[in-house]
Amino acid sequence: MSGEWVSGDFNLDDVKKAVDNLKVYPIDMHSFHESSSGPLTFADLPTLDFPAGGKIKCFVDLVPDVDSDVPKAIIKESLQSKTYEDIPAPFGMKSKATGPFKLDIAIMLQHNGKHTVIKVFHFPQLMKVDVARGLCYGTPYCFNWQGEVKTMKKCIHFVFERLGGFQCRQHVFRTSEEGKPENERSQEEWDFGFDFIEQKGPRENIKNRMLRWVTVQTSCKDSPIFRWPPVLVEKSLRNLAQDGVLAQVHTSWCLTLYDIDVRVLQALAPLFSSFSEKALGLFGEPGAGKTPVARSVAMALSRYYINRIGQQGEILRPDIFDDGTLPEQPFKKLKAFTDVGNIESMSKERWGAAKWVKGQPRIYCVNDYDRNAEPKNDLPILSHRQGIISYVAHKDFLNMLEPAWCPKDKNEANVMAVLKRTHILLNTKTFLYVRPASEKETPVLRIPLDDKQDFLHLESRAAYDYHRKGGTEMPKDFDRKVAWETEWMEKVMKGDLSGLKYRCTIIKKNVFSDHVTPSLQPQLDLSHALVKNVSNLFEAPNPSSARSDMEKSTSSDAQSKPSTEASTSSDARPSKKVKMEPGIFRTLTSSQVGGAIDLDSSPEKPPRPSVVEQSLTQQLEEIMQQDEIPNPGSVDFPCGDEAIGNNGTP
């Protein structure tokens, strides 16, 4: 039909043709429209007499000759707040309806000054005819669907809008090109659209990249955000650009630093204060516990900064790159990730970019290393069992890390750039290698792992496995462990490594005793080995001289006479030739089992109060001369076999 619509001068086919390219959508909030009475009347609606029985979902209430003013303000307020019972009669409902429904109201002025009220009800579920009739102030009618519900629904609303007057609509017409209105999208559609923005949306607006993307995606019919308001999409992209990394934030973790093997924790202790400038890389054998160690370190740093600053933020949220494919990461991205001290680091990804702020701790865990390139274990068996620390040449250490780097842009400069920014711990089946961040090619420390290669204590591994399988209950002693960790962190973050308390590690349960008596000579049945804190690399040792002196020391130990074993502490100490060890840990090989030596990070660490080499040596000797393994202090935890059941001899 062409031209103006006139009441009675058209048929239903004309209406169907008019709505052929239109779609009608229900909306949650009413829209209000006011005009003079329209060209059509109630008689133009496809209605039938109300049935005497049965059930019905959609019907109309006709109330003619209403001789009262129209309370438009009250009607609007009641519809917006969905308090339909507050609408005065006969403009509202005669009784209260249960459940959700849609209501369209049209109030037209008659020639005699009175009003005609037409209310169209849409219920999602069938209701009894008597209940529907009880909602109506006037005469109820039903609609003639003619077997075409979707088409007839469009026809009903098309005619309804042309009744004119004061209308309260809970529906909207859209063309096929316009699509569904934004405020009527389902929760699933909103989630799908925002997920699409997070996965595909750009994070920077270089060369109008954001603007181009928003314009194309909101105009493309096949896009999940077709016809979305561009302002909404742009705001979402800005938020994502500011959020940085899209990884899920974890706010709880079942383990603490107390759960970490003492050898690993003592190697990490000197590195903690530099995590605001250096990254931590954990390489090596799978299944050793790199992931729980990384998470425990991250949570310890978070708790420390939150307790110190009193609020949360990006710096307090360490990022972990866990179990990824490091060889596929270009050095440009790896250097951006490990450059913790940079003002801001960003890595472009296929979904956008990842961004980190200055001082935000970063940890990565990978299994990539060359087992066949590991230097031969030339330590005597007794020295290995005793936990004697040795060194390997820097070149040999790099050979082990060879598979971890991206082959496309791998060169010496790029590798050293990463090593300059990263503290590296590499665990093999026999040793734990520790290399503090530095650009210098110094020999790399290695710590024997003996019979225990797990980075966690035995009962801590059980707690980790429980949570990994979906458990949510925290360990009963978790709060006490956090208290121990808090005290420990307060010291190491200040660079104070003296008198640190550690939890002893069981190597073999059947020969464990609660207190370890220092043994200055190798023992065939030694059941545990505690690593020494490794700290403050003052000068670059010569690998060959380190190896030579080490061999002399261990050889001398192995050939000691039985009478020497019963001698005093000063007599039993190995030959003073050990003092000719290079500048790194000169007294290392003469240390007692359970002694502690501190490892410092890179020479580029933020300046601390100056300490001369002599005072450091004295400090290390005092730590090494401790008579027994320090306990956790004021926190009384079950230690060793007490926590797992003693299967050994008293």
The pLDDT of residue 405 is 81
Share the mean pLDDT of the chain: 73
Asked if residue 508 is part of any domain, the answer here is yes
What confidence score (pLDDT) does residue 43 get?
92
What pLDDT, on the 0 to 100 scale, is given for residue 75?
94
The confidence score (pLDDT) of residue 56 equals 94
Q: 115-128 and 102-109 as β-strands: parallel, antiparallel, unpaired?
A: antiparallel
Whether 107 is in a domain gets the answer yes
Cα–Cα distance measured from residue 496 to residue 490, given in angstroms and rounded to the nearest whole number: 9
Statement: residue 377 has pLDDT above 80: yes
Clarify whether residues 66 and 130 are in a common domain.
Answer: yes
170 SS3 class:
strand
Per-residue confidence (pLDDT) for residue 210, from 0 to 100: 86
Determine the Cα–Cα distance for residues 266 and 488; give it in Å rounded to an integer: 11
The verdict on 508 and 443 lying in the same domain is yes
Q: Is residue 248 part of a domain?
A: no
In this predicted structure, the answer to whether residue 174 has a pLDDT above a threshold of 80 is: yes
- pLDDT(596) > 80: no
Residue 456 and residue 261 in contact, taking contact as beta carbons nearer than 8 Å? yes
Q: Cite the beta strand spans of 110-186 per DSSP E.
A: 115-128, 139-143, 164-175
What percent of the chain is modeled with pLDDT above 90?
Answer: 25
Angle (nearest 5°) at CA 583 between 578 and 585: 60
The verdict on residue 249 lying in a domain is no
In this prediction, residue 501 carries a pLDDT of: 83
Of 17-21, 209-213, 270-274, 347-351, the range with the lowest mean pLDDT is 347-351
How many C-beta neighbours within 10 Å does residue 301 have?
A: 22
Do 507 and 451 fall within a single domain?
A: yes
The pLDDT of residue 516 is above 70: no
pLDDT reading at 645 higher than 90: no
Question: CB atoms < 10 A from the CB of 560, how many?
Answer: 16
For residue 516, is it within any domain? yes
Look at 79-93, 218-232, 429-443, 563-577 and tell me which has the smallest mean pLDDT.
563-577
Q: Do residue 168 and residue 277 come from a single domain? A: no
Is 236 among the domain residues? yes
Residue 298, pLDDT above cutoff 50:
yes
Say how many domains are in the chain. Answer: 3
Span between the terminal Cα atoms of the chain, in Å: 102
Between 148 and 54, residue with greater pLDDT = 54
> Is there a single domain that holds both residue 307 and residue 433?
yes
- In sequence order, which residues have a C-beta less than 8 Å from that of residue 351 and are 6 or more positions away? 198, 199, 200, 201, 246
Residue 347, pLDDT > 50, answer no
With cut-offs at 50, 70 and 90, classify the pLDDT of residue 523. very low
Instruction: Say yes or no: 150 and 232 in one domain.
Output: no
Q: Both 18 and 90 in a single domain?
A: yes
In a domain, 385, yes or no: yes
Residue at a domain's end among 200, 221, 243: 243
- Provide the residue range defining the domain that includes 73: 12-175
Q: What is the mean pLDDT of residues 512-540?
A: 36
Mean pLDDT of 585-601: 42
Query: Over the stretch 501-514, which tens digit does the pLDDT of each residue have?
Result: 888 776 654 433 33
What pLDDT is recorded for position 310?
Answer: 59
Got the DSSP string for 476-491? TTHHHHHHHHHHHHHH
| Whether residue 400 sits in one domain with residue 523 | yes
Of the residues 218, 243, 268, the one at which a domain ends = 243
Mean pLDDT of all residues in 313-336: 57
Which of the residue ranges 145-159, 432-446, 459-473, 514-528 would you say has the lowest mean pLDDT? 514-528
Tens of pLDDT, residues 219-232: 887 788 887 888 88
Q: Are residues 218 and 269 in the same domain?
A: no
Residues 234 and 284 in one domain: no
The mean pLDDT of 315-336, rounded to a whole number, is 58
512 dihedral zone (left: phi>0; alpha: psi -120 to 50; beta): beta
Kindly indicate the confidence band of residue 625, based on its pLDDT and cuts at 50, 70 and 90. very low
271 and 418, same structural domain?
Answer: yes
Could you tell me if 58 and 194 lie in one domain? no
What burial letters (b/e) apply to 332-358, b meaning 16+ CB within 10 Å?
ebbbbbbbbbbeebbbeeeebbbbbee
End position of a domain, from candidates 124, 148, 175:
175
Global pTM value? 0.43
Selection from 156, 60, 177 nearest residue 117 by Cα: 60
Whether 180 is in a domain gets the answer no
| 93-97, 284-288, 328-332, 492-496 — most confident range | 93-97
180 pLDDT exceeds 90? no
